[in-house]
Structure 1
Amino acid sequence: MGDIMLGKMFKSLFGSSGEGQKTASKSTTVVYDGFQIIAEPQLSNNQWQVAGRIEKQIGDTLKTHTFIRADTLPDEQGATNEMIRKAKMMIDQLGDGIFD
């Protein structure tokens, strides 16, 4: 019995208990200045991590920039909103340079 409890403790410490990172149940897409922002927060240790993609069709190629931030928030909607805010800032600052 002690080995089972010890194993559970290590699993919870190192995130291998099957409850590692889970993506949001649904993604939110926003179109901004010709870019698509796809918010996909990830559940990690009971917090929602800011994550998602920025995409843009350039000629025949769909360019994608994926990012996961260290920022975590207690709720999925908050992480979605923060991802969209950060993505808009990146678009404003870098434009198509996001894909370089």
Structure 2
Amino acid sequence: MAGILDSIRNLFGGNATSNPPQAASEPDSYKDCLIYTEPMAEGGQWRVAGRIVKGEGAEVKEHKFIRADIFSNKEEVEAATLRKARQIIDEQGAALFR
């Protein structure tokens, strides 16, 4: 059903999947990385999205991620984004920035 509604929105100029991420809040620090929560507004809900940044200046490395998880309010999606980012860091370690 959601696919049909998205198609109808697209006909009238709205594209639910191309909404830019919301402005990043203060980053959360975890294992020498900074996590920026950047949830995406989508159809009245919020999609998990963020960035993991490591290093400074010319040495900065960044990994962006978007997940299928959707939440009804911004506080829930920000908490879920932090959990997902920490999981990514734990699972991939240094390989995350190769």
TM-score normalized by the length of structure 2: 0.78
Do 1:50 and 1:68's aligned partners in 2 also have CA atoms closer than 8 Å? yes
Larger fraction in strand: 1
Give RMSD over aligned pairs: 2.6
Is 1:12 the equivalent of 2:9? Answer: yes
Segments of 4+ in structure 1 off by > 6 A?
Answer: none
Distance 1:44 1:58 in 2: 32
Larger radius of gyration: 1
- Residue 64 of structure 1 is matched in structure 2 by 62
Q: 2:79 matched to 1:85?
A: no
Q: How does 1:32-71 map to 2 (within 5 A)?
A: 32-57=30-55, 60-71=58-69
CA separation of 1:17 and 1:62: change in aligned 2, threshold 3 A = same
* Cα distance in 1, alignment partners of residues 57 and 93 from structure 2: 16
Structure 1 residue matching 2:83: 3-state secondary structure:
helix
> Partners in 1 of 2:31 and 2:24 — Cα distance?
23
Greater CA deviation, 50-59 or 68-77? Answer: 50-59
Distance 1:25 1:87 in 2: 17
* Distance apart, 1:24 and its partner CA: 2.5
How far off its partner does 1:60 sit? 3.9
Unaligned runs of 5+ in 1: 1-9
Distance 1:18 1:70, change over 3 A: closer
SS class of match (2:34): strand
Q: Secondary structure at the match of 1:80?
A: helix
Task: Report the TM-score, using the length of structure 1 for normalisation.
Answer: 0.76
Deviation at 1:68, TM superposition (A): 0.7
